[in-house]
Structure 1
Amino acid sequence: MVENELLRVIFDCALKVHEPLSHDYLSLLMKSACFVLICSLNKKVITELKAVESLTNVHLAQMMTYLRLSGCRLGYWLIQCDTLKK
């Protein structure tokens, strides 16, 4: 499976998980200052789940470090926020 196909699978799964979650749960998640899940899929894509309102240069530097150390070529952020836009 190539990286773009993996990204489609990741995005579709994220939507399936996100849709049934209540607004209250997502608001509570956003209030947790440091909620991060990082995984590598097929050693091709680094996926990072964050509960932040916006990405900063620090987040970019972290992702670049993960990519360099893992040898993956693609990084993907899933950001938990109050609304999910397609």
Structure 2
Amino acid sequence: MDENEIGTIVVDCAVKVHMRLGPGLLESVYETVLTYELVKRGLLVERQVVVPIVYDNLRFEEGFRADLIVGGKVILELKSVEHVTNAHKKQLLTYLRLTGLTVGYLLNFGEALMKDGITRTINGKLGGE
């Protein structure tokens, strides 16, 4: 399954979770339930994945934790805030660069409508583009 196919399932599941639970819960709640929905759809989901930082040829394991990595190809950064900021978007792009992954989604479950809380970010070019 490629990044676009995974992305389609991610968006579908995020909308479903948001419709059932509504906005305003803790991010950890959405992470748990979204993981359940994605696994139900047959996807491999890793939660709170440690992504190290390499600096001056030193590897620091305490770099950051990706909320979810789906299918080993797509990073999901979950938020439950009133509005996404540029800092949130830059954070996701940095995560993509550090992992070498190409596609990420910033999913803000704090929006009234989930469609307004989805930001897709691409690092470089996708294989088919």
Q: TM-score range with shorter-chain normalisation?
A: 0.7 to 0.9
Identity value in percent: 45
CA spacing shift, 1:80–1:2, aligned 2, 3 Å:
same
CA spacing shift, 1:82–1:59, aligned 2, 3 Å:
closer
For structure 1, the 5+ residue unaligned runs are none
Superimposed CA distance per residue, residues 33-68 of structure 1 (whole angstroms, 9 cap, x where no aligned partner): xx4651111221111110112222211221112101
Task: Give the number of the structure whose residues are more often strand, by fraction.
Answer: 2
- State how far apart, in whole Å, the 1-side matches of 2:107 and 2:5 are: 16
**Aligned-residue CA RMSD in angstroms?**
2.1
Task: Give the number of the structure whose residues are more often helix, by fraction.
Answer: 1
Q: Answer yes or no: is 1:64 the counterpart of 2:93.
A: yes
Deviating 4+ runs (over 3 angstroms): none
Partner of 2:13: 13
- Do the aligned residues in 1 keep the contact of 2:75 with 2:103 (CA within 8 Å)? yes
Residue 71 of structure 2 aligns with an amino acid whose one-letter code is N
Q: Higher relative contact order by CA 8 Å / sep ≥ 6: 1 or 2?
A: 1
**TM-score, structure 1 normalization:** 0.73
- State how far apart, in whole Å, the 2-side matches of 1:61 and 1:4 are: 21
- State how far apart, in whole Å, the 1-side matches of 2:95 and 2:114 are: 26
User: Rg: which structure is higher?
Assistant: 2
**Aligned-residue offset at 1:11:** 1.0
Count of aligned residue pairs for this structure pair:
78
Partner of 1:76: 105
- Aligned to 1:78, the other structure's residue is in SS state strand
**TM-score, structure 2 normalization:** 0.52
